[in-house]
Amino acid sequence: MSTVAIPATNQWRSELGDFSSIVCFKALVVGTEEALGEKAAAIALISAGRQRGRQVANQLGLAGKGLAAENMIALLQAALGKEGTRLCIIEKIVETGESIAVYCRETI
């Protein structure tokens, strides 16, 4: 079990906690695609994912640290994988110039 966690600085729900069903979240994605079209929904969801990714990097103290990809993967896995929020499994991280691509599996 890992001790790395995303700090609960904004607890949105006092009784149920901040996590919800992936089934319900997938319904939100599908509804967004139906309302906006696949391309517009993809643009919006990718933008939201990038913004959240920056927040997670800051919360975990990864931003600007220049850590090796293997170290970042381990920290992100602990926070977002099976032992964390269960959002996804981080496969690899590729840094190209100022861009960082994070490859995941078991996403929605």
DSSP letter assigned to residue 72: H
Q: 97 lies in a domain?
A: yes
Q: 85 lies in a domain?
A: yes
Q: 3 lies in a domain?
A: no
Q: 10 lies in a domain?
A: no
**Confidence band of 6 (pLDDT split at 50, 70, 90):** low
Helix (H) or strand (E) holding 103: strand 99-105
pLDDT, residue 8, reads 55
**Confidence band of 3 (pLDDT split at 50, 70, 90):** low
Q: 16 lies in a domain?
A: no
CA distance 9 to 31: 29
Question: Residues 33, 41: contact at Cβ < 8 Å?
Answer: yes
Domain count, the chain: 1
Q: 37 lies in a domain?
A: yes
Is the pLDDT at 1 greater than 80? The verdict is no
Q: 101 lies in a domain?
A: yes
**Confidence band of 37 (pLDDT split at 50, 70, 90):** very high
**Confidence band of 9 (pLDDT split at 50, 70, 90):** low
Q: 34 lies in a domain?
A: yes
**DSSP string over 27-44:** HHHHHHHHHH-HHHHHHH
pLDDT, residue 64, reads 81
Domain of 68 in residue numbering reads as 22-105
Reported as a single tens digit per residue, the pLDDT across 65-81 is 888 889 999 999 999 99
pLDDT, residue 31, reads 97
